[in-house]
Amino acid sequence: MRAAVVTTFGGPEAVEIIETDMPEPATGQVRIKVAAATLNPADAAVRQGVFGGAGRQLGLGWDVAGTVDAAGTTVGAAADWSVGDEVVALLFAMGTSLGTHADYVIVDADAVAKAPTTVAAAHAATLPLNALTATQALDQLDVQKGQSLLVTGAAGAVGGYAVQLAAHRGISVTAVARESDEQLVRSLGAAHFASPGAVEAGSVDAVFDTAVLGEAALEWVRDGGAYVGVIPQGAPASVRGVRTDAVSVTPDGARLTELVALLDEGVLTARVAETYALADAIKAHARLAEGGVRGRIVLVP
């Protein structure tokens, strides 16, 4: 089968499409025939060597939408899945030799959820990493109904899901994004819109900082509030009693099932910017590197 990997770090040209053996699922795992897999900034970070791993083959791709093709010994969660089931899943791909940017991928069965019924595979593939990151960050922030949350990078994939999920929970959301994205973030449920220079210090209960503004975003949190970023171990130091943390996404099939239901109910909006063939992964990475993408780039084998 084919898979996109890196063996040396660098720009988009570092991505290689290799031929490799078909992986076999172990006990508690399933093999998924990939229909679509999202290209995320995390993949660019792997390609650039941000997470280390020099001298090794590193797989690319965390999200997958596709069809169960085989299962290991069916114990536990693996017993829930049958060949032919249409599913979505998150593979925690940090340091793995093969990711979801491939023809087939092995994932733990408890990371799998039934695929949405209202969208095609390309849109479904944008859900696992980005929506799980958003919902797990909101859990860490512990913002309650009626409180206020500011989301930086609100027009991005993670930020957009965070806006929708928070609004659905009855939280008053202020979206920070480019002025040209105001209409978009308001359509996602933001009650307020602001450019970075127009936010009053200490004005919100919590900040989810997907744009990695750091200390600047921390200033917008009230005394005793909460801040969560997206770079593990990268949260700014606490000030004024503000609790600071960063989200490190965890595969969770049960939680992903809840997010799929919200997508099918219309609470969440899956946004695909562009699709590329797996063979054109270098072109896809180059497009991501250009910036300005609204929605996710998706690879289709």
* Average pLDDT of the segment spanning 212-228: 97
Q: For residue 130, name the pLDDT band (cuts at 50, 70, 90).
A: very high
Predicted confidence at residue 76, as pLDDT, reads: 55
Listed in order, the ranges of the chain carrying CATH 3.90.180.10 are 2-127+270-300
pLDDT, averaged across the chain: 95
77 versus 277: the higher-pLDDT residue is 277
pLDDT of residue 237: 96
pLDDT of residue 196: 84
pLDDT of residue 78: 58
Under the banding of pLDDT at 50, 70 and 90, the label for residue 48 is: very high
Percentage of the chain surpassing pLDDT 70?
A: 98
Residue with tokens 């990475």: 285
The answer on pLDDT for 45 being more than 60 is yes
Tell me, what's the pLDDT at 292?
A: 85
Beta strands 112-114 and 104-108: pairing type?
unpaired
The least confident of 6-10, 70-74, 100-104, 227-231 is 70-74
Whole-number pLDDT of residue 93: 86
Whether the predicted pLDDT of 141 surpasses 70? yes
Per-residue pLDDT of 154-209, as tens digits, reads 999 999 999 999 999 999 999 999 999 999 999 999 999 998 888 999 999 999 99
Q: How far apart (Å, rounded) are the C-alpha atoms in residues 242 and 247?
A: 16
Write down the pLDDT at residue 80.
80
pLDDT-derived band of residue 289, with 50, 70 and 90 as boundaries? very high
Cα maximum dimension of the chain: 56
Look at residue 75 and tell me whether its pLDDT is greater than 70: no
Report domain 130-246's class. Answer: alpha beta
pLDDT computed for residue 72 by the predictor: 82
Mean pLDDT computed over 121-129 = 98
CA atoms of 170 and 165, how far apart (whole Å): 9
Task: Return all residues near 242 (Cβ < 8 A) that are at least 6 apart.
Answer: 218, 221, 222, 223, 224, 225, 226, 227
What's the rounded mean pLDDT across residues 263-273?
Answer: 97
Question: What superfamily in CATH does domain 2-127+270-300 come from?
Answer: Medium-chain alcohol dehydrogenases, catalytic domain (3.90.180.10)
Q: What's the confidence (pLDDT) of residue 77? A: 58
pLDDT in tens, 226-267: 999 999 888 999 999 999 999 999 999 999 999 999 999 999
Residues of the chain with CATH 3.40.50.720: 130-246
Is residue 18 predicted with pLDDT exceeding 60? yes
Sequential DSSP letters for the chain: -EEEEESS-SSGGGEEEEE-PPP---TTEEEEEEEEEEE-HHHHHHHHTTT--TTS-EE---EEEEEEEEESS--GGGGG--TT-EEEEE---TT-S--SSBSEEEEEGGGEEEPPSSS-HHHHTTSHHHHHHHHHHHHHHTPPTT-EEEEETTTSHHHHHHHHHHHHTT-EEEEE--GGGHHHHHHTT-SEEE-GGGPPTT-EEEEEETT--THHHHTTEEEEEEEEESSTT-PPPP-TT-EEEE------HHHHHHHHHHHHHTSS---EEEEEEGGGHHHHHHHHHH----SEEEEE-
